[in-house]
A = this chain, B = another copy of it.
């Protein structure tokens, strides 16, 4: 079985019923075309065209080729375009692992954006522990990770960080808690001194643990650390009872059990959220996801942090949040769910 070029040549001649015009259409000289068609006939062992000096018409075999040939060329074209779709990241699949902390806003927003911008890419997302994310990305079994407080110096050489979001931190407290009294719309970390602070064990994500503690230390506060499991809702029980407080990023205000408030810490403190990828795994689909993530970050102002400041008026605005970007952009201050 031969190649497709000669089939294309033959089809041009058979359609035009004229070698000279077909040659022009193909942008080659007529003699070359003449020989290629002749060569095709030789290798097939069939006469495809009956030529006189003034007429060209296909034989029966030629008519069959003329009928079925275009479909073959289209099939080839379609295959080629399909493959190219992978090349430029229109198609593909990416696995994404993220911590619970990103599960309420950052990851969903990213997935929504991928659905809009790159519907051909299948993103299989799942919640994973911080250490698992890093290890899986390093091992190549996970394409992209989404983590907070990643410490570049603590990572394998071949994984790469892309800053996605700088997220203002806040405390989560019961609305009955003294810190929430008098309609306060922020909390000074100094006020956490001596309070019970609910955190994941340091081993889970040492960098994050240290950053939280540093925020307190900067204000001179030494909270008593209480360890929580990886189960978000159940872990809030001590907070809901007023026995403890916890500290999460701005996006953590979403999905809080009712009766809990998120109040930003003042002076403002930020935690960074990164995408983690492996340097070698620069598949088009992964690259596409990084581009979409960058765009999403810009659209939502995730790096400026402007939207996370208390409003200039200082009005206390308590309401329930959906995930709509417009809502989120308009909100600041304290939130009750």
Contacts and interface: CB of A to CB of B under 8 A. Distances in A.
A71 B78 CA distance: 12
Given A4-B4, A45-B84, A86-B46, A72 B68 contact: no
Interface stretch (A58-66, A96-104, A198-206, A265-273): A58-66
Nearest to A68: B79
Given A76-B1, A283-B60, A68 B87 contact: no
Contact of A83 (B3, B46, B80): B46
B5 A3 contact: yes
A69 interface: yes
A256 interface: no
User: Within the oligomer, what is the number of copies of this chain?
Assistant: 2
Interface string A5-27: 10000000000000000000000
Interface residues of A, number: 36
Given A44-B83, A87-B45, A283 B59 contact: yes
Interface of A: 1-5, 44-46, 48, 59-61, 64-65, 68-69, 71-73, 75-77, 79-80, 82-84, 86-88, 91-93, 283-285
26 contacts: A1-B4, A1-B73, A1-B76, A1-B77, A2-B4, A2-B80, A3-B3, A4-B76, A44-B84, A44-B87, A46-B83, A46-B84, A46-B86, A46-B284, A48-B83, A60-B91, A60-B92, A60-B93, A61-B83, A61-B86, A61-B92, A64-B83, A69-B79, A72-B72, A72-B76, A75-B75
